[in-house]
Amino acid sequence: MQFDGEKIMIGGIAAAEIAERYGTPTYVYDEQKIRANYRRAYQAFAKHYPDFQFFYAVKCCNNPAIVNILRQEGAGADCASVNEILLAKSVGLSGEQVMFSGNFLSDADIQQGLESGVIFNLDDISILPRLLKFGTPEMISFRVNPGYGKSNVGEYVTNAGPGAKFGIHPDDVLKAYKMAKDAGIKRFGAHMMTGSCITDADYFPFITGLLMDIIGKVGRELQIDFEFIDLGGGLGIPYKPGEEALDLERAAEGTAKMFKEKCAEYGLKPPQLKMEPARYFVGNAGYLVGKVHAIKESYKKIIGTDIGMNVLCRPAMYGSYHHIYVDGKENHPRTALGLCGQLCENTDFWVKDRELPADMGEGDIVVVENAGAYGFGMSYQYNGRLRAAEVLVNNGESVLIRDRETFEDMVRHTHVPEYLAK
């Protein structure tokens, strides 16, 4: 995002022009920023460990256009469900370019996952016997919970450690791989959830060391080679003004050093190193453009916009921060204001006492920053308020990549029994 005077620009296009052409609310993604983010991260890690690959976590932003951008850059896909596998295959990714990292899988999930031919990454030892009833995959990976996790965006997204629902307890990891080996599986990988939105560069080599101490002992005792070790995602971005950004070079160098040292310590044949970030690629490349519709002077002044918790639910869900800009008024005097959406829930009052332009008025264009990660993908229908449009901008050009939902979309799959229609 840039400023042309006081005019907000996204990818060379005025936010007001986007609002006029596509309506509001609209998610806007800057293609060149996504590509630059990917290349910066890939070069940092591959420089220190050349046998390196990124998988993009599709759940973060699942628009096929976004997945295609990252596919073009060289990323595989990390998929949390069968439908995400289908999405990855629809853009040309298949087989070992796709990892299936679902949890608490149904039998139907397991069957379809096997039929898809992707890498199975099992979240728990209990899934393996169920999987083997339907077939024996060529390769298996287990998600390990190393006993420690960290998050910069709240306890609810601390995806490892004793309080997390993900991954196998360290005491059961050896048993899991022995079961897989005894079942005739020949090829192995390993995986963990690093954390969520980590901006501490030293955390990545630390958590890598924890995982490698677990996996190294397994490889040595069972005499198996790991074809890959996937460190998960967790590469963070700053959300608040003045927040320190991740020192990517330091994180990459320290992680690669720890990885190589642990491989040597346990006599592991050096595997491919994988990671599966998503927020780092798309988070700061996405913006949410909305409009002020009404202003209430009550116990406090409340700015009502078409950006509600159904459109961007992260603040209501776990108190996350997104910076807000007002087109044409960024240099105006400020005062503490609240901002809400149009839903009949008080949690929709998602910004309180934020310093915003004091003269905000009806019709103003509002731009929410860092909305590319877990924005549209977590949106939902409520109160008849429908999902936003999505737009891709690229060097001054824009294209619609998802239609705004309509009433017909809201009722498309409903059925009214004939006797009720009388």
The DSSP bridge pattern shows strands 389-394 and 301-305 to be: unpaired
Backbone angles phi, psi at 140, to 5 degrees: -135, 145
Residues sharing a CB contact under 8 Å with residue 305, sequence separation 6 or more, in sequence order: 290, 291, 292, 293, 339, 340, 341, 342, 366
Q: Are 395 and 9 in contact (CB under 8 A)?
A: no
Number of Cβ within 10 Å of residue 225's Cβ equals 13
Contact 401, 391 (CB under 8 A): yes
Output phi, psi for 332, to 5 deg. Answer: -80, 160
Which position among 61, 79, 197, 344 bears the catalytic label?
A: 344
What's the alpha-carbon Rg for the chain, to the nearest Å?
23
**Cβ atoms of 65 and 391 closer than 8 Å:** no
- The candidate with the shortest Cα–Cα distance to 29, out of 5, 64, 53, is 64
For the question of residue 263 being annotated catalytic, the response is no
Task: Please name which of 378, 316, 319 lies closest in space to residue 343, comparing C-alpha atoms.
Answer: 316
- Chain center to CA of 375: 9
Count CA atoms closer than 13 A to 331's CA, side-chain side: 7
Which two structure tokens, joined as six digits, stand for 344?
């009949």
The Cα–Cα gap between 74 and 58 comes to 14
Separation CA 141–CA 176 (nearest Å): 10
Give whole-number Cα distances, 264 to 134, 194, 226, 323, in Å: 37, 22, 13, 45
The residues carrying an active-site annotation are: 344
